[in-house]
Structure 1
Amino acid sequence: MPQYNPPLRDMQFVMHEVLNVVDQLKALPPHADIDADTINAVLEEGGKFAAEVLAPLNLSGDAEGCTLDKSTHEVRPPKGFKEAYAKYVEGGWPSLGCDPEFGGQGLPLVLNQAFYEMMNSANQAWTMYPGLSHGAYEALHAHGTPEQKATYLPKLTSGEWTGTMCLTEPHCGTDLGLLRSKAEPLGDGTYKINGAKIFISAGEHDMVANIVHLVLARLPDAPEGSKGISLFVVPKFMVNADGTLGARNGIFCAGLEHKMGIHANSTCQMVLEDAVGTLVGQPNKGLAAMFVMMNAARLGVGNQSLGLTEVAYQNAAAYAKDRIQMRALSGPKAPEKAADPIIVHPDVRKMLLTARAYAEGGRALSTYVAVTLDRALSSDDEDERKAADDEVALLTPIIKAFITDNGWIATSHCMQVFGGHGFIHEWGMEQFVRDARINMIYEGTNTIQSLDLLGRKVLMDNGAKLKKFGKKIAAFVEEEGTNEAMQEFINPLADLGDKVTKLTTEIGMKAFQNPDEVGAAAVDYLRVVGHLTFAYFWARMAKVALEKQAGGDKFYSAKLSTARFYFAKLLPETASLIRTARAGLQPLMEMDEALF
């Protein structure tokens, strides 16, 4: 069975030595009293919960899956999941980053992000049950009526209830303009909703007393397309005026999806038959409210793959040190043994270092975005809030797409390290691969994220957001430009920054002639910009490690070795990506459709 050790030292390195998050947080009124000791204590306890409570359920939960009673429409998660959730609530974990007004602890989101990374490493399928509750909480916190907030937010904050996001329909995935679910006003402020939803994560289970569904549907007079979508809160059980639960509502699970991975999460086909709900936000403006939840989910999905990359790396590294096969090409490294440990073989090291570099780079980027989001939400300076919000908007599709693509690569590599054993369920590696695959698909496929980055976040504002982030990179390059020890990191970072500027301009000019050129280049473009962000954070981490390695702490020498590997073996991928992005539309569209 796979093991998991929370990467507390690396989390603390990123937070305290690279990003100085305490200083950033102390400047925000809600977090003026935060300190490193508090952050470290929460991380340590959160790591214990992930490693001791969740990780032991991951393999068995995958094998058992969920069970639907078709007569009652009730879903039972795998053995131990409900008990683990009770411990999660008992420990106060659901309220970590929530508003104190509704019973939350008011701790920074960056801390909640780190906690969720550890839970995703330990058990992604379990973590998805409470995971979307935070998105439902954020959507209602931002757009709910006072009555909705009073009814639902305290229960979501405490974890007594969980939340879902009901968007997708059998005929409509990302293109929500095709949505057909209908909502009819009942004249008393409530609505009768009918329709069908699919792929609803944690849509039904018995771990909590009530489930709060956020549902997209159309009002009778709604305009066509995405401009005619409204958002409704639809509880599994109706809530009485005194807060007690009333009658069962007309929303239920009609079937469980049979999936490649995340077997232990109840991915449901949900049917609404005269389900009663209340409107969230303005009529026909549901997407604005839902995107609060969607953006939170996209950051969360990147975090899922970050967690899987870390745990896959840990287990593959341990196996590679123990498994003996063949001799090193340069001669025996363990002559006292019948063969050498496979970690002596260069390609095994390449696979391990790929996973490690993507995990540690992803952690730095995710932590940076999380603390930037804290500033966007909590700064008392309007200009700072706007600048931080713009930066989060730019980097969100990179977190979702680049980190999940890397997670697929890394978990596949780590399974390969195990050889044939990696293909066997009991070792846990093939589960990491299967679970990682969905992260590239849901909450907007990675192609959608790429189109969002290039089309909306870069070209739509003539590169303003990208230029602002680029100025931070340029300032770092300028600052370290005369530091001889940093040249192996600074030179390729500066070079890639220049190439991204030129590539962006070139694609923008092509797009003026034919918008389809954006679609042809977007996926390659996102991966190039993803590497630019990773190179920036790897250079910053290398700077700290160079300054502190003289103390003899092997953590810093390992960090430098990983940084050098990233710049030498992974960053050069951008050369081919830039070339394929520049190849443009014609090679993709030249063939007649009938010949496919």
Structure 2
Amino acid sequence: MPEFNAPLRDMRFVLHEVFDAQALWARLPALAETVDAATADAILEEAAKVTGQLIAPLNRSGDEQGAQWHDGQVSTPEGFQQAYATYIEGGWVGLSGNPEFGGMGMPKMLAVQFEEMLYAANSSFALYSALSSGACLALDAHASDTLKRLYLPPMYEGRWAGSMCLTEAHAGTDLGIVRSRAEPQADGSYRISGSKIFITGGDQDLTENIIHLVLAKLPDAPPGPKGLSLFVVPKVLVNPDGSLGAANAVSCGSIEHKMGIKASATCVINFDGASAWLVGEANKGLAAMFTMMNYERLSVGIQGIGCAAASYQNAVAYARDRLQGRAANGASAPDKVADPIIVHPDVRRMLLSIKAMTEGGRAFASYVGQQLDLAKFSPDAAEQDRAQALVALLTPVAKAFFTDTGLESCIHGQQVFGGHGYIREWGQEQLVRDVRIAQIYEGTNGIQALDLLGRKVLADGGVTLRLFTGEIHQFAQQPDAPYRAQLIEAAHRLEDLSDWLEDQAANDRNEIGAASVEYLHLFGYVAYAWLWARMAQVAKHKLQDDPEFYGAKLATAKFYMQRLLPRVLGLEQAIRAGSQPLFELSAEQF
């Protein structure tokens, strides 16, 4: 059975050497007394033990056994209950939660490292707490003080879980047509009726209560998405003193039988006049729910990085050990019957591709985490606004690019194993199956691409885009910045293409949908180029301190710039071909 060992050295490199997280935290009053480099390292060390020793060993058995449904009750695979009990003792659900209600108050820059470990160790297990963390975030941002004090402490503690109930059988992306209804009651509560599908962790046997966040429509709601309200609906009713009461009118009708993440219960949840309480303002529920959705989008993006990191570890170990053929320039292990396959160029191409994209993604996730911390904790209003704008711009990139390239990386890792990669015992095929969902849930990657190009880049004429590319240009002006010419060219390419698309879309709105996926990928490759240049800059200055580690950084940066960044050329050519090739066929000709 494959093992998982958290890449702590690389995580510390990103946090402390590339982003100088301690300097950032020291100037944010809410974090200055909470966390420093030593605290962060201690948390990461403990997280590595929890994920590697407690959670990762349940990954394969959980996949084989899967979540089970019987007579309306869901049971998780053997060992999950015991592991979850130990997991919540460490306070991991509330790692970045509000300390006022029992959270640890850690920065998001640190939390993204932990999330990567968790997904790498066991994606199914990770999802149970990921949804809880997102639900807590939405409640903390939008619920009344009464609701927050009632629900957040046991949720941060992990005794209660959270879920996100949006999708219905007829309403996936188009949430404006949901049919779930909320009827006001004389005591200020509501009664929810309707059914929701694809509810991650909608039922399970890990916690004593599940707090559902549900989108529904009031009787006088306006049509479309502007008529949605958000409600908190506990599985078990909660008394005013926080104790549990009677069961609410909430039931699990079934669970889905899926390609992957089989130990995660994906539920049909029925609300039959269930007691509910309004979160935020009436008819403004979608905006409140987006607080949770954007958290989950970054989280499932990190699932792509985590699965790729696990695949890479397995593939490197196998490539060093598997003997097949001889190196093209002569035997590297003449004392053995054959050379290890890591000598072969194509195997190295696959391994370096995974390494470059995974480490680039880790840096990008940390950068988004940095902006989230600034948006939440900065005492400077202008800095807060700038960071929030960047978070809005970069979230769809993180969700879609991390997961598209995460699947590619997991497939590369599987391919390194050859036929053994298709066999269950090596774990590579499970990673491919598990990571595949990340491109679909929390808004498919095509929707993320439309959001990026249409709502985030073109909607403001590229102003927010240039906040981001401005950082690339600023870095490239440093005398010791590596790959200056390539960075400047890449940033200009992204800017010029964005301007061209704005002109094209003015005459043909199909241009946005036709270009969006390739545009998001081009954006991702340009962003990673900047981050690899930043990592190479640090590595160059510290090479003598640790030639093996920093030398690997420099070599991987070179590989990225020479072998992966050129993909933007083909992406640009495809975008500039326009929408017409997509509409040459009639519907009947497909």
Distance 2:547 2:91 in 1: 35
CA distance in 2 between partners of 1:184 and 1:74 (Å): 27
Instruction: Work out the number of aligned pairs and report it.
Output: 589
Match for residue 228 of structure 1?
227
Q: How much has 1:275 moved relative to structure 2?
A: 1.0
Q: Distance in 1 between matches of 2:132 and 2:91?
A: 14
Confirm or deny that 1:418 pairs with 2:414.
no
Q: Show the counterpart of 1:75.
A: 74
Cα distance between partner residues in 2 of 1:511 and 1:322? 53
The 1-side partners of 2:497 and 2:15 are apart by 32
Which residue of structure 2 aligns with residue 23 of structure 1?
23
Q: Which residue pairs with 2:8 in the alignment?
A: 8
Corresponding residue for 2:116? Answer: 117
Partner of 1:85: 84
Question: 1:36: which partner in 2?
Answer: 37
Q: Which amino acid aligns with 2:412?
A: H
Q: Secondary structure at the match of 1:169?
A: coil
Partner Cα separation in structure 1 for residue 496 and residue 375 of structure 2:
30
Aligned-partner SS, 1:584:
coil
In the alignment, structure 1 segments of 5+ residues that lack a partner are none
Tell me the residue number matched to 1:315. Answer: 314
* 1:513 correspondence with 2:507: yes
- Number of the residue aligned with 2:63: 62
User: In the alignment, which residue of structure 2 is the partner of 1:177?
Assistant: 176
Q: Give the drift of 1:553.
A: 3.1
CA distance in 2: counterparts of 1:258 and 1:229, whole angstroms: 30
Runs of 4+ residues over 6 Å off in structure 1: none
- Deviation of the 1:92 alpha carbon: 1.9
Q: Deviations over 1:524-564 (max 9, x none)?
A: 00100111110000000001111111234310001111111
CA separation in 2, counterparts of 1:116 and 1:198? 25
Q: Which amino acid aligns with 1:202?
A: G
Q: CA deviation at 1:250?
A: 1.2
Structure 1 distance, partners of 2:328, 2:114, is: 42
Match of 1:340 in 2: 339
RMSD: 0.9
- 8 A Cα contact 2:144 2:280, kept in partner: yes
- How far the C-alpha of 1:185 sits from its partner, in A, is 1.0
Matched, 1:590 2:547: no
Question: Distance between the aligned counterparts of 2:250 and 2:75, measured in 1?
Answer: 17
- SS of aligned partner of 2:478: helix
Tell me whether 1:325 sits opposite 2:324 in the alignment. Answer: yes
Amino acid at match of 1:164: S
TM-score normalised by L of structure 2: 0.99
Output one character per residue of 1:71-119: Cα deviation in whole Å (capped at 9) or x when no partner.
xx11000011111110011112222211111012222122122111111
Where do 5+ consecutive residues of structure 2 fail to align? none
Shift of 1:194: 0.9
For structure 1, which segment, 284-293 or 32-41, has the greater mean C-alpha deviation from structure 2 after superposition?
Answer: 32-41
Partner SS for 1:87: helix
Deviations along 1:365-403, whole A, 9 cap, x unmatched? 101111210110011111111011111111111100111
SS at match of 1:48: helix
Query: Deviation digits for residues 258-282 of structure 1, max 9, x if unmatched?
Result: 1110000001111111111111111
| SS at structure 1 position matched to 2:336 | coil
Query: What pairs up with 1:38-437 in 2 under 5 angstroms?
Result: 38-70=39-71, 73-437=72-436
Between the aligned residues of both structures, percent identity stands at 51
Match of 2:534 among 534, 540, 551: 540
The 2-side partners of 1:525 and 1:262 are apart by: 29
Question: Residues of 2 paired with 1:290 and 1:559: CA distance?
Answer: 39
The separation in 1 between residues aligned to 2:223 and 2:98, in whole angstroms, is 37
Provide closer, same or farther for how the CA distance between residues 87 and 552 of structure 1 changes in structure 2, counting only shifts above 3 A: closer
Confirm or deny that 1:560 pairs with 2:547.
no
One-letter code aligned to 2:286: L
Helix, strand or coil: the match of 1:94? coil
Separation in structure 1 between the aligned mates of residue 193 and residue 91 of structure 2, nearest angstrom: 36
Q: Secondary structure in 1 aligned to 2:162? A: strand
Contact kept in structure 1, 2:97 and 2:105, CA below 8 Å: yes
Equivalent of residue 496 in structure 2, options 502, 505, 508 = 502
| Counterpart Cα distance in 1 of 2:77 and 2:454 | 42
Distance 1:44 1:196, change over 3 A: same
Structure 2: distance between partners of 1:31 and 1:513: 49
